[in-house]
Amino acid sequence: AIYDRSKQAFVSYVQAYAKHECSLLLRLKELDLCGVAQGAFALLHLPKMPELKNRDTSNFNQQNQPIDPESIPYKDKSLAKKRQMEKEDPNMKIKKRVKTVAFSIKKENKLKKRLKRLRREQAENERILGAENELAENEKHIDDIAKEYSKLKKQRRLQRYNVRILNFI
């Protein structure tokens, strides 16, 4: 299992190296893939991948390695059984079952989420508008009180004026 993971890691490493944004510094053509495969990932053979098609892999020493990758046993018996089944019948591969949800159900759930979000946004907008309306009503009320107060002041002034005139006469 560790060897399989090292193969996957090597493939991921090479693909990430090739797709890196800074291609001026990290050039795949200048990378010693054979050295990286043997040194960093301890591979016994190079995996089949498009990045290796037009590359010289003569630096990879397969002759010095008497170990056959297929002879490495798995600790996990289920993986060993899976490998044995694939050896016997290469067309039959064990596929992982993916639980699929019907498209219409997914679409319905998506619409429910969208409706819920819209209702939440509408409630929030109504709450904000309610607060704004309340502020506007309070401002109107304050304006009305200010007008009444100014009328009262005016009446008081007139009353004082009338009292002065009456006292003068």
Tokens of 97: 């079952």
CA distance to 34, 74, 85, 168, per residue, from 78 (Å): 31, 9, 11, 119
Is 36 in contact with 10 (CB distance < 8 Å)? yes
Letter for the amino acid at 11?
A: V
Contact between 47 and 7 (Cβ < 8 Å) = yes
- Domain tally, the chain: 2
**Do 56 and 125 fall into the same domain?**
no
Same domain, 63 and 10: yes
| 58 found inside a domain | yes
Q: Domain end: 21, 54, 79, which one? A: 79
Of 74, 43, 72, 48, nearest in space to 60 by CA: 43
Quote the pTM value. 0.47
12 located within any domain: yes
Same domain (yes/no): 17, 72:
yes
Residue 41's domain comprises 2-79
In the chain, alpha helices (H): 2-18, 33-39, 77-88, 103-168
Residue 113 lies in a domain: no
Specify whether the CB–CB gap between 33 and 55 falls below 8 A. yes
7 and 71 belong to one structural domain = yes
Residue 136, both tokens: 């506007």
One digit per residue, the tens of pLDDT, for the chain of length 169 reads: 688 888 889 989 888 888 877 766 777 777 788 888 888 888 887 888 888 788 777 777 765 666 777 778 888 888 888 888 877 776 665 566 666 667 778 888 888 999 999 999 999 988 888 888 888 888 888 888 999 999 999 998 888 888 878 777 6
Cα dihedral across residues 81, 87, 89, 95: positive or negative: positive
Please enumerate in sequence order all residues whose Cβ is within 8 A of that of 43, keeping only pairs 6 or more positions apart, or say none: 3, 6, 7, 10, 37
Q: Which residue is it, tokens 């304050």? A: 142
